[in-house]
Amino acid sequence: MDNAEEDARALEDGRRLFAQACEFVTGAAAPDQVPDAGLPEVAFAGRSNVGKSSLINALTGRRSLARISKSPGRTQQLNFFSLGGRLMLADLPGYGYAKAPKGEVKRWTGVVEAYLRGRAALRRTCLLIDARHGIRDSDRAVMAMLDRAAVSYQAVLTKCDKVTEAGLGRLVEEIERELAGHAAAYPQVLATSARSGRGIPELRSALATLANPDNNL
């Protein structure tokens, strides 16, 4: 098989996986509410309002599976979704939102950090970065934590419909350079837009490599 054929097959694997039914499993506001890990898992982390819930909806082709909010800090618990019984998707509460009451922020951070550090089934964390803002210090703090916990993560740019191609090209290069210094970071950055659909097939394909095999094929 040549490279083009391999790419086409990988995209098809991603399309098939994300064409499966996706069901809400449970929400967890405290570590003891996190469901038992039965499936390989992928988490979506990022600052408040970066577009985590929107990206999950775009990936699964469901408009309102994960709730989308106009006010940042809306997803206040970890929400788990099972994709065709092959992959668990975890929508994490956002960080870096200064206006939420301090105690609340602390509690979220505690729950998220405990989850990220202790989840054996976690195959990868997609670390979402707003293409308009690039990497912020709060992202760097999370990256350092993921490095220490040896949780593999991949930077995924969101809202790429809001920036120019030239700006996006520079940002991808800049982020790839920064990630090269991080032990647990996956080297490739994916550019996506939940609005235009850009990069969604590629992200589906990347995540399909982490899922349980489809025995129906």
Ligand X SMILES: Nc1nc2c(ncn2[C@@H]2O[C@H](COP(=O)(O)OP(=O)(O)OP(=O)(O)O)[C@@H](O)[C@H]2O)c(=O)[nH]1
Single-letter residue type at 179: L
Contact between 54 and ligand X per CB under 6 A:
yes
| Site mask for ligand X (CB under 6 A), range 166-205, x = bound | ---------------------------xxx----------
Measured CA to CA, the distance from residue 5 to residue 136 in angstroms comes to: 38
Contact (Cβ atoms closer than 8 angstroms) between residue 39 and residue 212? yes
Whichever of 70 and 177 has its CB closer to ligand X, that residue is 70
* Chain centroid to CA 212: 18
> Taking CB under 6 A as the rule, does residue 133 contact ligand X?
no
Residue 191 binds which one of ligand X, Mg ion, none, with CB within 5 to 8 A depending on kind?
Answer: none
Nearer to Mg ion, 45 or 172 (CB): 45
Residue 158 binds ligand X (CB under 6 A): yes
d(CA 117, CA 94): 17
Q: How far is CA 9 from the centre of its chain?
A: 23
| Residue placing its CB nearer to Mg ion in the complex, 67 or 162 | 67
Tokens of 153: 């993560």
Smaller CB separation from ligand X, 101 or 181: 101
Closest to 89 (Cα-Cα) out of 70, 66, 118, 64: 66
Can you give the binding site for ligand X, defined by CB under 6 A? 46, 48-54, 68-70, 72-75, 94, 158-159, 161-162, 193-195
